[in-house]
Amino acid sequence: MYQTIVIGAGIAGAVAARALAEAGGGKVLVLERRGHIGGNCYDRPDEYGILVHEYGPHIFHTNDEGVFKYLSRFTEWYLYPQGHQVVAKVDGGLIPIPFNLNTLHLVYGEEKGSVLEKKLIDAYGEGSRVGILELKKSEDADIRQIAEFVYENVFLRYTMKQWGQTPEEISPEVTGRVPVLISRDNRYFQDRYQGVPRDGFTPMFEKLLAHEDIEVQLGVEAKERVTLTEGGILLDGEAFRGNVIFTGALDELFDCRFGRLPYRSLRFDFEHLDKNDFQGHSVVNYTVSEDFTRITEFQYLTGQTGCSGTTIVREYPFAYSGTAGEIPYYAILDEENKMLYEKYRGLTDGLPNFHLLGRLAEYKYYNMDVMVRGALTLAERIMEEKR
């Protein structure tokens, strides 16, 4: 009855299912273990009518015209006129990040800021983006001091919280990439399109999956329906000869037989406040103090107006342990873990119609736009093989 089974109704699974159904690939069965579609992009109105992102703030941003056009078939957009901007709380004040010339003036005051601005422009050129390791090599003590400020106040403690690392464990290569922007650009991303679906991500997913050849089953653990055997794939105990697109965690699929793939997880603490404004910004990063990494205030993220009160969420990172209810969010991409992943991937080598797609199945960090592109590419490849 089905030509394809897609496991997971996140952005990877939903786009792949739609692309295959539209290309005439036949009936697609989407199995999703959660009680909703959208994966980690899922949003919903809270009890006060405020649209919240259940799994942390998601901002769609891309330079990929094709991906933007594709998703625009399923949603209109609330595009941020000034791009997505993030500030960090440092010494009780708010400073724009990534660190740029506006930040420089706020931190050092107008007089010293102007002197330092000139030094940076003379040394690296206006509009450039310089890693702090590069700045640390400067012969000018003032420039080295800027690098030190960024390292201490923007990078170090934030990274320790996010990744649970000690300063010694943080690789110099990662440190080196922390940028200083020699410009007045306060945007967090440099992409052309930045925003969120105007009515939310979940309605966009509903439209994506609304196709006569797509059947979505929620609350279904795929392992209870789909079995991988030496000889091939079974659906409900019967041989299944179509394609299976798996977007879940690969180690879990094989009962973690070689050990768990390490991840960082997050706890989200939502709070509704009986006032019109909490922080005046969509996202404030706590790069120096507090146990949480950031606070998101949803009204500024989604552009929603006319609600009473405001809802915020604090994010607390911790090590994923696999306990029921925990969600693996960020793959910890070191060499050892990548090798472990490859060991699991090897178990699927003999199954040419079993495809791994998405942040969990590929053990990578993907932004949404890259995921959409990946799903469209896989669907095209599958259709070509069918021809």
Ligand X SMILES: Cc1cc2nc3c(=O)[nH]c(=O)nc-3n(C[C@H](O)[C@H](O)[C@H](O)COP(=O)(O)OP(=O)(O)OC[C@H]3O[C@@H](n4cnc5c(N)ncnc54)[C@H](O)[C@@H]3O)c2cc1C
Q: Which residues bind ligand X (CB under 6 A)?
A: 7-13, 31-34, 39-41, 56, 58-60, 221-223, 247-248, 266, 329, 358-360, 366-369, 371
Tokens in use for 213?
């050849």
Report the helix count and the strand count for the chain, using DSSP H and E: 12, 22
7 or 135: CB nearest ligand X: 7
Residue with tokens 């009962």: 255
The least distance separating ligand X from the CB of residue 380, rounded to whole angstroms, comes to 18
> What 3-state class would DSSP assign to 133?
helix
Q: Given phi > 0 = left and psi -120 to 50 = alpha, else beta, which region is 85? A: beta
Spacing of C-alpha 362 from chain mean position: 14
The least distance separating ligand X from the CB of residue 163, rounded to whole angstroms, comes to 13
Tokens in use for 161?
């919280």
The least distance separating ligand X from the CB of residue 37, rounded to whole angstroms, comes to 8
Q: What is the DSSP letter of 271?
A: E
The least distance separating ligand X from the CB of residue 48, rounded to whole angstroms, comes to 22
43 or 369: CB nearest ligand X: 369
CA distance 357 to 6: 10
Spacing of C-alpha 37 from chain mean position: 17
The least distance separating ligand X from the CB of residue 162, rounded to whole angstroms, comes to 10
Residue 24 CB coordination number (10 Å): 10
CA distances from 129 to 89, 98, 194, 352 (A): 22, 10, 20, 43
Residue 197 CB coordination number (10 Å): 23
CA distance 106 to 350: 58
7 or 379: CB nearest ligand X: 7
57 or 96: CB nearest ligand X: 57
Backbone angles phi, psi at 273, to 5 degrees: -120, 140
The least distance separating ligand X from the CB of residue 270, rounded to whole angstroms, comes to 14
Residue 376 CB coordination number (10 Å): 17
3-state SS, 337-356, equals HHHHHHHHHHCCCCCCCEEE
The least distance separating ligand X from the CB of residue 112, rounded to whole angstroms, comes to 34
The least distance separating ligand X from the CB of residue 121, rounded to whole angstroms, comes to 31
CA distance 247 to 236: 19
The least distance separating ligand X from the CB of residue 337, rounded to whole angstroms, comes to 17
